[in-house]
Chain A
Amino acid sequence: DTGVSQDPRHKITKRGQNVTFRCDPISEHNRLYWYRQTLGQGPEFLTYFQNEAQLEKSRLLSDRFSAERPKGSFSTLEIQRTEQGDSAMYLCASSTGGDTQYFGPGTRLTVL
Chain B
Amino acid sequence: QKEVEQDPGPLSVPEGAIVSLNCTYSNSAFQYFMWYRQYSRKGPELLMYTYSSGNKEDGRFTAQVDKSSKYISLFIRDSQPSDSATYLCAMSASSNTGKLIFGQGTTLQVKP
A residues in contact (CB < 8 Å) with B: 4, 31, 33, 35, 40-45, 48, 50, 55-56, 58, 91, 97-106, 108
Verify B104–A41 contact, CB threshold 8 A.
Answer: yes
**Residue-by-residue, is B42-54 near A (CB-CB < 8 Å gives 1, otherwise 0)?**
1111100100000
What is the interface residue range for chain B against chain A?
A: 20 to 34
**Most B-side CB within 10 Å, residue of A44, A56, A99, A106:** A99
* A100–B98 alpha-carbon span in the complex (Å): 10
Chain B, Cβ-Cβ closest to A31: B98
**B residues in contact with A41, CB < 8 Å:** 104-105
Q: Is B102 an interface residue (CB 8 A)?
A: yes
* A58–B34 alpha-carbon span in the complex (Å): 21
Within the complex, the shortest CB–CB distance from B50 to chain A, in Å, comes to: 10
